[in-house]
Amino acid sequence: MKNFNFSNTVVKSFNSLFSKSNRGVGIELAPQRVNVVQLRKQRQGLKVDALTSVPVPEGVVVDGQIIDPPGMAQLIQQALDDSKIKASRVATAVPGRDSIVRLIPVPAELDDKELREMVLNHEAGLYLPYPREEADVDYQKLGYFVDDDGIEKVQVLLVATRKEITDTYISTFEQAGLQIDVLEINSFALIRTIRDQLRQFGPQEGSVLVDIEFDSTEIAIIVNGVPQFSRTVPIGTYQMQTALSRAMNLPASRDMELLHGMSIPATPMEGGKTDVTETNPGMAAVMRVLGELTDELRRSIDFYLNQAENLEIAQIFLAGPGGGLGQLDEFFTQRLSLPTMQTDPTVALSLQLDQEQYPSVERSGLGIVLGLGMREV
């Protein structure tokens, strides 16, 4: 499993996507909350020194973009104050929808300087949907292989984000009195928290990481610990919550309490109904949204498998604020005929957390922030 400790590539004021330090503060900026964690090493494992979540009001983040940097900076400061964390440098991450992640083969005979020039200036421009000068780019050499023509190549992981996105993050954290030590992609932080579970699969077995966030779901197909394919779908817990509120004639809310109290029936629906949904219009509404998400997930998996040779999907991992909904793993297992499990990063990392403060339904939403904290330890 790669730790993605990228070379010290600094583009403008953009810190290396994968640099390394020994401070343990990770901050996740999500549309509905700011999560802050401080981890420290304890014997063979990790210990949570502090973990705080602060709600984000509507309008601060829109379509995944920070619209109100000063407002977000205040929330970051509040979260640090609440958790009594003193920090000057932190790790954070940008959503997958704002990033380009590509695996590209390049000639093995290039030295490091030639490789850097080729990847950053030539190859990057071929894979970006916007001009190269508008992007911050980093890369990591992974491993060597021989292609179909018998030529030795090196696999390179290319990561790019629009400069305007990274500039907004840098500015937001500067206004909070902080410097970004590590800026990476959400899915990389998640992979770090479940890397031991990912290690059990062989080179021909793919895992699907389904990160159900507030207003979107990030789908990543992972082989050998490296994301091979990623896609963002505009369906998240907010869409489920809105459908539920509407069906029950309740006012729209960003609160997840109603959703967290539900258990999703796994029984296949006949004609779109089950005994549960006939008597519960709210459940029927949530099931419709989950049905759409299942269809998108199936399309993503089929699209990738059609291009990948001799690969099978061995496991689906559910993560994010929506990943812990009751029996959601059984629902996906039934619908997709693929083994599905809900991730609990606190169990994966053997961390002790207050059960009352962080019940199991909420723990799958801690994967990104804990992965960021690990990055800094």
Q: What is the DSSP letter of 119?
A: I
Question: Which regions of the chain carry the CATH code 3.30.420.40?
Answer: 25-193+368-376, 199-342
pLDDT computed for residue 66 by the predictor:
96
pLDDT reading at 278 higher than 70 = no
Give bridge partners of residue 47 from the DSSP assignment.
40
Tell whether the model's pLDDT for residue 10 goes beyond 60.
no
C-alpha span between 344 and 340 (Å, rounded): 13
pLDDT at 359 (0 to 100): 83
Reported as a pLDDT band with limits 50, 70 and 90, residue 268 is low
17 vs 232, more confident: 232
Split at pLDDT 50, 70, 90, the class of 279 is: low
Q: Which CATH number fits domain 25-193+368-376: 3.30.420.40, 1.10.1060.10, 3.40.50.1370, 1.10.540.10?
A: 3.30.420.40
Strand residues in the chain grouped as ranges (E): 25-29, 33-42, 45-55, 61-62, 65-66, 89-94, 99-107, 135-146, 152-162, 179-185, 205-212, 217-223, 226-233, 312-319, 340-342
Q: Which of 75, 20, 73, 71 is nearest to 52 (CA)?
A: 75
How far is it, in rounded angstroms, from Cα 364 to Cα 346? 9
Q: How many CB atoms lie within 10 A of CB 202?
A: 9
Mean pLDDT over residues 257-277, rounded?
68
Q: For the CA atoms of 169, 127, 110, 152, what is the dihedral angle to 10 degrees?
A: 130
The answer, yes or no, to whether residue 13 has pLDDT greater than 50, is no
Question: CB-based contacts of 268: which residues, under 8 Å, 6+ apart?
Answer: 334, 335
First to last CA, the chain: 17
Q: In this structure, what token pair is assigned to residue 19?
A: 């640099």
Mean pLDDT value across the chain = 87
* Residue-wise pLDDT tens digits, 112-125: 899 999 999 888 88
Q: How far is CA 319 from CA 90, 215, 260, in A?
A: 23, 14, 14
CATH fold for the domain made of 199-342: Nucleotidyltransferase; domain 5 (3.30.420)
Instruction: Count Cβ atoms within 10 A of the Cβ of residue 22 and give its class: 0-12 exposed, 13-18 middle, 19 or more buried.
Output: exposed
The three-class DSSP label of residue 91 is strand
For 280-326, what is each residue's pLDDT tens digit?
A: 889 999 999 999 999 999 999 999 999 888 899 999 999 999 999 99
Rounded to an integer, the average pLDDT of 201-225 is: 94
